[in-house]
Amino acid sequence: MFSKTCEYGLRAVIYIAQQAKTNEKIGITAIADAIDSPQAFTAKILQQLTKNNIVQSIKGPFGGFYIDEQNLQNISLNNIVQVLEGNRIYTGCGLGLHQCNAEKPCPLHFKFIEIRENLKKMLENTTLLELSSDKSITDYYLKN
Amino acid sequence: MFSKTCEYGLRAVIYIAQQAKTNEKIGITAIADAIDSPQAFTAKILQQLTKNNIVQSIKGPFGGFYIDEQNLQNISLNNIVQVLEGNRIYTGCGLGLHQCNAEKPCPLHFKFIEIRENLKKMLENTTLLELSSDKSITDYYLKN
DNA sequence: AGCATTAAGGATAAACTTATCTTTTAATGC
DNA sequence: GCATTAAAAGATAAGTTTATCCTTAATGCT
């Protein structure tokens, strides 16, 4: 479904969001450890997310990644996926046609649109705030 | 969403299905041309689909690929995807966790299940027979 | 039987994704 | 200012997917 980049990115951001309340920055080592991902690779991904203002970071001692209150409320999973996968997930043709639309549809076009729309809505409606709730932290896992 | 392998495979099979009525085998050159895919690569994919009894093939002059009446009725897109992608699309975790289930769910587990279930149903309910109907042939495109 | 034709199979190459390592830049405390 | 810490940035390596090419096997025709 998603690329590794996107999977690690989502897990990392969710984890950072869950730590947001402590108001402490969290380092890449801790993050990679918490979500069980390759550290250097995850660092690259977070670099990209920082550039795109999904998460914030600060260098130096006691530095690390964090998410401010505003982003916690405004960022949804959709935003993260957009940065890491572009919008091909939402616009790409199920059969891989370069142009596939209502005028020149592939045989699956209209059926696919439905599924994708569901996915999009789900990602749009899932906010970092929701995923950083106490219940979410205790009931769900980011590694196994 | 799907791999190139799966995209080409689906398009190839749909095209072959659409030619089924003529009762003529259709060669790899004609198929690759009709669906605008790399010929040798598509041949490999069809080889795999032939082994798994999705399509049939016959060598030699006037040989090629075809789909018999029974498969036309029984094969759904789901069967093709299963062969070419395995079942990871249906079972894999959205966040890439190796084990993710109702007991140890990732934060997206239950939301993802819904989406995947929709996709699965759609693929199961879309048969080659439907896709080879006259309307389907005239109204939809397999290349652009 | 011999030849032409077409898919199957194997080997290899190109492109892209995933992953790691090293150097540079920025922030903090002394 | 200097040492230390941690992210940013750049270079490179490993692995996987996508793609091509060449040889082999099967089929039909003469």
- Closest CA of chain A from B60, distance in Å: 30
pLDDT at A23: 73
Measure, in angstroms, how far nucleotide D1 C1' is from residue A58 CA: 22
pLDDT at A89: 83
Residue-wise pLDDT for A83-106, tens only, equals 999 988 888 999 999 999 999 999
* Contact status, residue A42 vs residue A34, Cβ threshold 8 Å: no
* Contact status, residue A95 vs residue B11, Cβ threshold 8 Å: yes
Cross-strand bridge partners of residue B26: B65
Among partner residues A94, A96, A143, which is closest to B97 by beta-carbon distance? Answer: A143
pLDDT at A20: 86
Q: What is the mean pLDDT of residues B16-26?
A: 88
Element (H, E) at A64: strand A64-66
Beta strands in B20-79 (DSSP E): 56-58, 64-66
Q: What is the mean pLDDT of residues A25-45?
A: 98
Residue-wise pLDDT for B68-125, tens only, equals 999 999 999 999 999 999 988 888 999 999 999 999 999 999 999 999 999 999 999 9
Counting other chains too, the contacts that A70-73 makes at CB distance below 8 Å and 24 or more residues apart are A71/A128, A72/A17, A72/A20, A72/A128, A72/A129, A72/A132, A73/A127, A73/A128, A73/A129
Residue B59 has pLDDT above 80, yes or no: yes
Residue-wise pLDDT for A114-144, tens only, equals 999 999 999 999 999 999 999 999 999 999 8
Domain covering B4-139: architecture: Orthogonal Bundle (1.10)
The whole-angstrom separation of Cα A35 and Cα B75 is 40
As a whole number, the mean pLDDT across chain B is 96
- Lookup: nucleotide whose C1' is closest to B43 CA: C7
pLDDT at B88: 86
* Contact status, residue B56 vs residue B67, Cβ threshold 8 Å: yes
- Write the ipTM: 0.93
As a whole number, the mean pLDDT across chain A is 96
pLDDT at B89: 84
Q: Show which positions of strand C are touched by protein (CB under 7 A).
A: 4-11, 17-22, 25-29
Chain A residues with CB under 8 Å of a chain B CB are 1-2, 4, 7-8, 10-11, 14, 77, 89, 92, 94-100, 104-109, 111-112, 114-115, 118-119, 122, 126, 131, 136, 139-144
Helices (H), A3-141: 4-19, 28-35, 39-51, 69-74, 77-85, 88-91, 109-125, 128-131, 134-139
Q: Buried b vs exposed e over A6-25: b needs ≥16 C-beta within 10 Å?
A: bbbbbbbbbbbbbbbeeeeb
- Give backbone dihedrals phi and psi of A65, rounded to 5 degrees, phi first: -105, 150
Helices (H) and strands (E) in chain B, counts: 9, 2
Question: Would you call B144 and A114 a contact, using CB atoms and an 8 Å cutoff?
Answer: no
